[in-house]
RNA sequence: GUGGAGAUGGCCCAGCCAGGUAAGGCGUCAGACUGCUAAUCUGAUGUCGUUUACGACUCGAGGGUUCGAAUCCCCCUCUCCACGCCA
């Protein structure tokens, strides 16, 4: 891919504000590598044939001479192999740091100010009282505890309690049930993943500083369920009948969020949050349609919750490393008068499939091909909760529970503030 | 964690002791034949490269010995069994 169309990659790197030197470095290493591969193939051919001859030769000068010759050939092969190993290292280092190519219909742009709103839904609510922001609401409702979470884990972590914890659980169940109706199979994968997995989906190496690493065991805390779920299929060759394969998972996600200063108030940006994720493995020809479906699946959830939102098509400069095209769903939070990113739906084409070696066979006996992978959040919990609380708040300080969630909360219709201050 | 046994093509399994072209079976596909969706026979059925004909690679991963390694040596990973620990 890089080899066959280097100019396209160069163009892409420029659009993503990346240095193109990495490409030239790759091409140089790759060229030499291929040259050595050819050379070694020839040498091995010689060695294979001559070794066979040697086995049939009688003992004597002639045989000793051949053996000596082959010893030299062997040394040469080994020398080439050593050089190739070094080249391979350079090559992989380059490849792993070259991002995916944005799709043709992705708008050019340098940062998030140039994303394009492609869809809007719902009315921004008009209040006849001054709406609170979520942090204030949660404290007043006694459904969150920041200080005690800090005691246990440190800043950037929080503890839900009472109806807050129940609302969280209700949302998770609601999302998973909706995804089941949408045809996804629920999985509950490990929360801890290895380096091969984070490499397979493209978080490693470029996002490694934003992930928690367990040094002693060389494992990572799940940064997004996309990682364990997609990598479940690592190194597999699927059949055509397996596709499209649609999986969903609820899983905690962990982000170190180093160097990010905004949003220290409340639960907008935290180190650990719950998320329900959708992952699709599809035939390449269907992946663009699958992206629209995936986005629709996520939107269906927000509509059911009655939350005003809009959909952004991310521009080239704001896209993540691995994706070819990405929609963000942002929920409107009236208490703080801002949009909150609560879902990202991306098509990775074969970018992840190549790294994780996920293939399928279009027909029995045909050559296997890489699948296309996609994923989308449906949804990230904290920001969904923020939107619910701020949109559904009432003048008396209570919050109405969206109807679709009530069955998950024993029919409860409202979360009301405690009459007096309570310890817990 | 300790001891033992293992890992071979889509699946099963031989070869390893004693180094010299990875055997056989199942499944799948194609063809042949037969009066039908069966049987039988023949062929195909790992990856990569390129000049489409060949070549290279491939026996859990990586090293080593050797003219030559599935086979010998080192090291690592994973699986199974037993014991230990444990929600």
Residues A105-158 have pLDDT tens digits of 899 888 888 999 999 999 999 999 999 999 999 999 999 999 999 999 988 899
Determine if the peptide bond prior to A50 is cis (ω within 30°).
no
Q: Which of A90, A84, A246, A120 is nearest to A181 (CA)?
A: A246
Structure confidence by residue, pLDDT tens digits, A341-369 = 999 999 999 889 888 888 888 776 677 88
Q: How far is the CA of A66 from the C1' of B17 (A)?
A: 30
For residues A305-331, give the mean pLDDT: 94
A269 is catalytic: yes
Whether A48 sits with its Cβ under 7 A from any strand B atom: the answer reads yes
What predicted TM-score, i.e. pTM, was given to this entire model? 0.89
The residues, any chain, with a CB within 8 Å of residue A263's CB and separated by 6 or more, are: A269
Beta strands in A149-271 (DSSP E): 159-160, 185-187, 192-194, 213-214, 219-221, 237-239, 245-254
Can you tell me the distance from the alpha carbon of A159 to that of A274, in angstroms, rounded to the nearest whole number? 12
Whether A365 sits with its Cβ under 7 A from any strand B atom: the answer reads yes
Across all strands, nucleotide nearest A41 (CA–C1')? B56
Domains of chain A: 6-96 (1.10.287.40), 112-415 (3.30.930.10)
Can you tell me the distance from the alpha carbon of A303 to that of A64, in angstroms, rounded to the nearest whole number? 81
A383 is catalytic: yes
CB A268 within 8 A of CB A382: yes
pLDDT at A235 over 90: no
Instruction: Considering only residues 70-99 of chain A, list those whose CB is below 7 Å from strand B.
Output: 70-71, 73-74, 78, 85
A341 is catalytic: yes
pLDDT at A200 over 80: yes
Q: Can you tell me whether residue A101 is helix, strand or coil?
A: coil
Among the ranges given (A163-167, A169-173, A274-278, A359-363), the one the predictor scored with the smallest mean pLDDT: A359-363
């Amino acid at each position: 891919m890089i080899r066959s169309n280097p100019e396209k990659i160069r163009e892409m790197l420029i659009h993503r504000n990346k240095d193109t030197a990495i490409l030239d470095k790759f091409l140089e290493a790759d060229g030499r590598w291929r040259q050595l591969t050819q050379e070694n193939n020839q040498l091995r051919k010689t060695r294979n044939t001559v070794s066979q001859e040697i086995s049939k030769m009688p003992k004597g000068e002639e045989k000793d001479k051949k053996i000596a010759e082959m010893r030299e050939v062997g040394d040469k092969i080994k020398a080439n192999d050593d050089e190739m190993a070094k080249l391979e290292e350079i090559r992989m280092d380059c490849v792993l740091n070259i991002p995916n190519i944005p799709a043709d219909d992705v708008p050019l742009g340098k940062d998030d100010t140039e994303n394009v709103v492609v869809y809007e839904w719902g009315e921004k609510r008009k209040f006849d009282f001054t709406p609170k922001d979520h942090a204030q609401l949660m404290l007043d409702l006694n459904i969150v505890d920041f200080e005690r979470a800090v005691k246990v884990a440190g800043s950037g972590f929080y503890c839900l309690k009472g109806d807050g914890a129940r609302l969280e659980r209700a949302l998770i169940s609601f999302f998973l049930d909706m995804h089941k109706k949408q045809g996804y199979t629920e999985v509950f994968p490990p929360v801890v993943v290895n380096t091969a997995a984070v490499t397979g989906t493209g978080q490693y190496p470029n996002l490694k500083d934003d992930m928690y690493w367990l040094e002693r065991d060389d494992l990572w805390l799940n940064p997004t369920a996309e990682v364990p779920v997609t990598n479940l299929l690592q190194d597999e060759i699927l059949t055509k009948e397996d596709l499209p394969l649609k999986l969903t998972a609820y899983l905690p996600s962990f982000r170190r969020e180093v160097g990010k200063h905004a949003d220290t108030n409340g639960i907008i940006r935290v180190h650990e949050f719950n998320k329900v994720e959708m992952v699709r493995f599809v035939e390449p020809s269907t992946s663009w349609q699958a992206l629209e479906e995936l986005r629709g699946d996520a939107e269906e959830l927000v509509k059911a919750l009655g939350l005003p939102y809009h959909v952004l098509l991310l521009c080239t400069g704001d896209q993540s490393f691995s994706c070819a095209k990405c929609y963000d769903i942002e929920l409107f939070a009236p208490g703080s008068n801002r949009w909150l990113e609560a879902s990202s739906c991306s098509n990775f084409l074969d970018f992840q499939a190549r790294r994780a070696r996920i293939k399928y066979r279009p027909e029995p006996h045909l050559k296997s091909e890489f699948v296309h992978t996609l994923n989308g959040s449906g949804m990230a919990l904290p920001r969904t909760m923020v939107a619910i609380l701020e949109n559904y708040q009432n003048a008396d300080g209570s919050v109405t529970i969206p109807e679709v969630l009530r069955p998950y909360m024993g029919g409860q219709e409202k979360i009301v503030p405690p009459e007096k201050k309570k310890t817990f």
